[in-house]
Amino acid sequence: MTDLHRLSVRELTEGLAAAKFSSRELTEHYLKRIEKIDARVQSYVTVTAEQALAEADAADALRKAGGATVLTGVPIAHKDIFCTHGIKTTAGSKMLDNFISPYDATVVAKGKVAGLVTLGKVNMDEFAMGSTSESSYFGATANPWALDHVPGGSSGGSAAAVAADLAPFATGTDTGGSIRQPASFCGLTGLKPTYGRVSRFGMIAYASSLDQGGPMARSAEDCAYLMNVMAGHDAKDSTSVEKNVDDYVANLNGTSVKGLRIGIPKQYFNTAGLDADVKARVEESLKKLEEMGATLVEIDLNMTESYVPTYYLIAPAEASSNLSRFDGVRYGYRAENPVDLMDLYKRSRSEGFGKEVQQRILIGTYALSAGYYDAYYVKAQKVRRLIQQDFLKAFETVDVIAAPSAPTTAYRIGANLSQVEMYLGDIYTIAVNLAGLPAINAPVGFDKDSLPVGLQLIGNYWSESQLLSVVHQYQQATDWHTKRAAIAEENA
């Protein structure tokens, strides 16, 4: 079959179960596509062809022996922030260019138990800091819809790989939008789960109170399959929650759009900088949901102006602490010929970290330093609580909250936005992380340059099933999620 990459995850599971194709055929098909197409997209940092084929053969053998489960033999790409035993894990940084993890992240280990075949590791902004994937030490990744544009970030490699049909689905992480914004820029569906739903063990830390892994795929249905693998309590992550996990696939029709109350925050749709096409497409998608029976309710989210300053204080503060472990001593990049220990620390960190990462470490260290801690960090934590309360108040009257995922479509590669412009691009996503809420991006059309636009739906705590279900029903009634970039239509 030449068009295996066009099958949805459900179709892949059905085809494998019916022996229409083997995991080896499927894996070879994807590896061939990566070889032919990824030179133009640059989504993969590492392709693990040999290991993938061995995993595929093992999956086929397991299936023959009657031991297969639903996803046995389905390929996946992992964001290069998840530690993989025996395979390089770089976090997009020179600091970890040669780092081979001695263990698997829990998400990766769960994928193995589910029988997923790892095609490789995909590109990202350095240590997940950024919105374009350009800060990667390994260079920029292209947006499959327009190769001179960015795929978004930080999970840009995950988004580009799926949008170019170089993987059926991929893992991502979201600290301030890094699943939802690249999903939006690449026309995909991406879910940022409630904080604590997915284990962070073995996921290289950026800002630990905000980081959360989640699925990126073409549809809510495909995301549900991966969410079934990723979600769940993990004794190795003290912030992961002991709470029953839904069967996200079985629940895809569990929420009715009829009667669903969708909150429309006034402040979100009057933001300066919200692109007219993005606004129009998002409003059209809301109109469609209204036709399907939802009620649109205008709401207030009064803390909107505090989102960017609060996030860009807390995230760098936590990053400065997390990244202090990279000192050139035990693993990672080490400067050559240090004259003494201080020189080793200094030069390893100045040579190993890129500019954006260094800036954030400096800002974060400053905010946490004695004398400034109360004025900055403690204050930001208080504002964070107010932002959370703002959402909780809204959820007293609505079931979900609608927003764009990003104020614009994808930027050009090398557009060199100022830091302020770049940070303002996170306005619709970061508050969700500050509050620890789940949210999903769904593709809802294109702008005048044929670049994808995304709708974001924010849910109350633990409402992943509801979000996936609402988007699934929207996707049953529309076909935006089935649109493919020209490069994805190419055969290998």
Binding site for ligand GLN (CB under 6 A): 128-131, 154, 174-178, 206, 315, 426
Question: 137 and 93 in contact (C-beta within 8 Å)?
Answer: yes
* Spatial CB neighbours of 209, under 8 Å, sequence gap ≥ 6: 195, 239, 314, 318
The smaller minimum CB distance to ligand GLN, of residues 52 and 363, is found at 363
What is the DSSP pairing of strand 400-404 with strand 169-173? unpaired
Distances, alpha carbon 247 to alpha carbons 15, 228, 244, 290, in Å? 21, 6, 10, 27
- Amino acid identity of 262? I
Tokens 């770089």 belong to 90
Question: 440 and 190 in contact (C-beta within 8 Å)?
Answer: yes
The smaller minimum CB distance to ligand GLN, of residues 75 and 130, is found at 130
Using DSSP, how many helices (H) and how many strands (E) does the chain show?
Answer: 18, 11
Q: How far is the CB of 266 from ligand GLN (least distance, A)?
A: 24
Q: How far is the CB of 202 from ligand GLN (least distance, A)?
A: 16
The smaller minimum CB distance to ligand GLN, of residues 30 and 82, is found at 82
The smaller minimum CB distance to ligand GLN, of residues 51 and 359, is found at 359
The smaller minimum CB distance to ligand GLN, of residues 433 and 469, is found at 433
The smaller minimum CB distance to ligand GLN, of residues 165 and 174, is found at 174
Q: Which of 176, 125, 127 is nearest to 151 (CA)?
A: 125
The smaller minimum CB distance to ligand GLN, of residues 333 and 428, is found at 428
Pairwise CA distance, residues 156 & 64, whole Å: 36
What is the DSSP pairing of strand 295-299 with strand 261-265? parallel
Tokens for 451, please give them: 């670049």
Q: How far is the CB of 37 from ligand GLN (least distance, A)?
A: 26
Q: What DSSP string describes 379-411?
A: HHHHHHHHHHHHHHHHTTT-SEEEEESSSSSPP
146 bridge partner residues: 143
Q: Which sign, positive or negative, has the C-alpha torsion 292, 245, 394, 397?
A: positive
Q: How far is the CB of 355 from ligand GLN (least distance, A)?
A: 13
**118: burial class by Cβ within 10 Å (0-12, 13-18, 19+)?**
buried
Q: Which of 150, 139, 186 is nearest to 166 (CA)?
A: 186
Q: How far is the CB of 407 from ligand GLN (least distance, A)?
A: 13
The smaller minimum CB distance to ligand GLN, of residues 133 and 473, is found at 133
Q: How far is the CB of 176 from ligand GLN (least distance, A)?
A: 3
Q: How far is the CB of 181 from ligand GLN (least distance, A)?
A: 7
Pairwise CA distance, residues 315 & 139, whole Å: 24
Q: How far is the CB of 49 from ligand GLN (least distance, A)?
A: 28
Q: How far is the CB of 378 from ligand GLN (least distance, A)?
A: 21
Tokens for 315, please give them: 């995230």
Question: 413 and 150 in contact (C-beta within 8 Å)?
Answer: yes
Q: How far is the CB of 361 from ligand GLN (least distance, A)?
A: 13
Catalytic residues: 79, 154, 178
What does DSSP assign to residue 206?
S
Q: What DSSP string describes 472-488?
A: HHHHHH--GGG---HHH
213-217: strand order across its sheet? 44-47, 117-122, 75-79, 169-173, 213-217, 189-192, 439-446, 452-459, 400-404, 261-265, 295-299
Question: 390 and 302 in contact (C-beta within 8 Å)?
Answer: yes
Pairwise CA distance, residues 119 & 5, whole Å: 13
The smaller minimum CB distance to ligand GLN, of residues 154 and 285, is found at 154
